[in-house]
Amino acid sequence: MAEILGLAEAVAELVHDGDCVALEGFTHLIPFAAGHEVIRQARRDLTVARLTPDLISDQLIGMGCVARLVFSWGGNPGVGSLHRFRDAVEHGWPAPLALEEHSHAGLTNRYVAGASGLPFAVLRAYAGTDLARLSGQVAEVTCPFTGERLAAVPALNPDVAIVHAQRADGEGNVQLWGISGVQKEAVLAARRSLVTVEEVVDELTPRPGALVLPGWAVTAVAVAPGGAYPSYAAGYYDRDNAFYQEWDLVSKARETFLAWMREHVLEPSAVA
Amino acid sequence: MSVASELEFTTSEVMTVVASRELRDGMTCFVGIGLPSTAANLARLHHAPRLVLVYESGTIGAKPRRLPLSIGDGELAETADAVVGVPEIFNYWLQGGHIDVGMLGAAQIDRLANLNSTVIGSYDSPRVRLPGAGGAPEIAGSSRSVIVVMRQSRRSFVERLDFVTSVGFGEGPGDRARLGLRGRGPVLVVTDLGLLRPDPETCELVLTHVHPGVSPEQVREATGWDLRVADDLETTAAPTAAELKILRSLEATKGADG
């Protein structure tokens, strides 16, 4: 059964320096509050796995928490570049950032293999691209039945997966609905998992299409209302598109970025 | 002169309108954010009400009332026929062969319609680090056909890509089959200057249309290789008043809340 912990306590217990941390949430339910707690606790040398590194990844990278990024698309969706990500890659600030780069399908299937207890996954991808020769994480396999040549990607089993969901009950059973990304796969592939939720309720009323993570499959649940903001939590609040546009200006220069982080993330009084 | 041709329109608008005309009623379209999403929604509202919009966030059959800013805006999930996880959208729906047309943009394209959306410069010390592949390589590989939409200049239409993110025709005829890519590959490239289509024999992109007011010399000048021009070069029909009206009312809703 998942332990219900405070967010600071949960991050302190589950996320260690040097860990491979999967932070998932595909545009929806991005675990911002947990990411901010990782920044406040000044974790270092993390390998961060995330299909779509966006603002939370930009913040983790700019604050020096990340040594290696495993990803497939790093941008500010609909707006443009991630300036802190680019600064790290192009100028090594605040520290060099190693990249392990995939397509969405490639990285997704790494999680699927990890969650399935398999050493690798097979997909029809990568042939003819430069991605295949880059990461050293793609190999060609021959189908034993048809002789077709396909791509294989190794399982990804993060030390810890962090995701955000709408709600949990007192037993730590988690209910999540709307766009669900690869959250289930990331949680089941990881050795430990932390789910932040908007609220803990007495009883989880069934919802059509909702995904349930049983409490016994999750390590810890922490209540973090608004924990996906400025992304969104269907049924609770909308995506703050204006914030995503403003981030472009905030993050462009190192000084304005650091000032923003100090004011909004590092100062405990400003915790969202 | 017709009324429509007297209307003023921007290069983005002509690209969006021309791309939207390629999307027919009942098709399934894998939609990227930005111009492809705008074009697909314009098609849905203008001439293809049953066009199925599939976004990589797992929203299938989305019918957004306002243009989303991201591929995962709540509006897409709320108006979709089905919402599925990312493994499912890529493995079952795209790789499984259910997508008629994929629409892609890129930072660079070469004469065989291969695409770069990863880096400008060398990979290890790039001049510009771009967002990366996302869903593009598999959209390019597994959609039955691909439409590429991008602005044309010598910086973007290059002799040699800095990085091959997505395969168009690889190194030439037969390469897609050899690589195991099931779709036909790019059938059309829509730019701000005109339309390019692959030569059926060589797969090389050929200029088949120029937009109103654009000369073929201008397009060749904006291309980093010796661009072939079709013998029967045509001019694209200018956006109509109806197309522009819908497009502009859509644009006004972009990323808006509720």
Dump the DSSP string for B127-192: EEE----TTHHHHHHHSSEEEEE----TTTB-SS-SS--B-SSTTSTTHHHHHT--S--EEEEE-S
**Structural contact between residues A149 and A170, judged by C-beta atoms closer than 8 angstroms:** no
Separation in Å, CA of A235 to nearest CA in chain B: 10
**Structural contact between residues A46 and A21, judged by C-beta atoms closer than 8 angstroms:** yes
- Say if residue B3 is exposed, middle or buried (CB neighbours under 10 Å; 0-12, 13-18, 19+): exposed
Neighbouring CB atoms inside 10 A of B237's CB total: 16
Q: What is the pLDDT of residues B117-136, one digit of tens each?
A: 999 999 998 999 999 999 99
Instruction: Name the pairing type of β-strands A98-101 and A120-123.
Output: unpaired
A128 and B164 in contact by Cβ < 8 A?
yes
Farthest CA pair distance, chain A = 61
- In order of their start, the domains of chain A are 3-102+159-270 (3.40.1080.10), 109-154 (no CATH)
Q: What is the pLDDT of residues B147-183, one digit of tens each?
A: 999 999 999 999 999 999 999 999 999 999 999 999 9
Q: Which residues of B touch A236 (CB under 8 A)?
A: none
Q: Which of B95, B123, B257 sits opposite A238 (nearest CB)?
A: B257
- Say if residue A187 is exposed, middle or buried (CB neighbours under 10 Å; 0-12, 13-18, 19+): buried
Residue type, A226: G
d(CA B205, CA A160): 47
d(CA B191, CA A38): 44
d(CA B164, CA B103): 17
Residue with tokens 């059509």: A208
Measured over the CA atoms of residue B71, residue B72, residue B78 and residue B83, the dihedral's sign is positive
Question: pLDDT exceeding 70 applies to what percent of chain B?
Answer: 96
d(CA B74, CA A182): 17
**Which residue from B minimizes the CA distance to A27?**
B72
Farthest CA pair distance, chain B = 54
Q: Which of B59, B90, B175 sits opposite A104 (nearest CB)?
A: B90
Catalytic positions of B, please? Answer: 56
d(CA B17, CA B10): 11
Give the pLDDT mean for A165-177. Answer: 97
d(CA A64, CA A8): 19
d(CA B249, CA B241): 12
Q: Identify the pLDDT of residue A38.
A: 98
Would you place residue B258 in the very low, low, confident or very high pLDDT band (cuts 50, 70, 90)?
A: very low
ipTM of the complex: 0.94
Residue with tokens 């994480």: A137
CA angle, B63 then B134 then A114, to 5°: 105
- Nearest Cα to Cα of residue B212 among B185, B180, B189, B240: B240
Would you place residue A269 in the very low, low, confident or very high pLDDT band (cuts 50, 70, 90)?
A: low
Q: What is the pLDDT of residues A67-87, one digit of tens each?
A: 999 999 999 988 999 999 999
Separation in Å, CA of B255 to nearest CA in chain A: 6
d(CA A180, CA A28): 7
Give the pLDDT mean for B95-115. Answer: 97
- Say if residue B149 is exposed, middle or buried (CB neighbours under 10 Å; 0-12, 13-18, 19+): buried
- In order of their start, the domains of chain B are 3-251 (3.40.1080.10)
Is pLDDT above 50 for A270?
no
Across chain A, mean pLDDT equals 95
- Choose from A50, A102, A104 for mutation: most chain B CBs within 10 A: A104
Q: Identify the pLDDT of residue B214.
A: 96
Q: Which residues of A244-261 are buried (b: 16+ CB within 10 A; e: fewer)?
A: beebeebbeeeeebeebb
d(CA A124, CA B91): 9
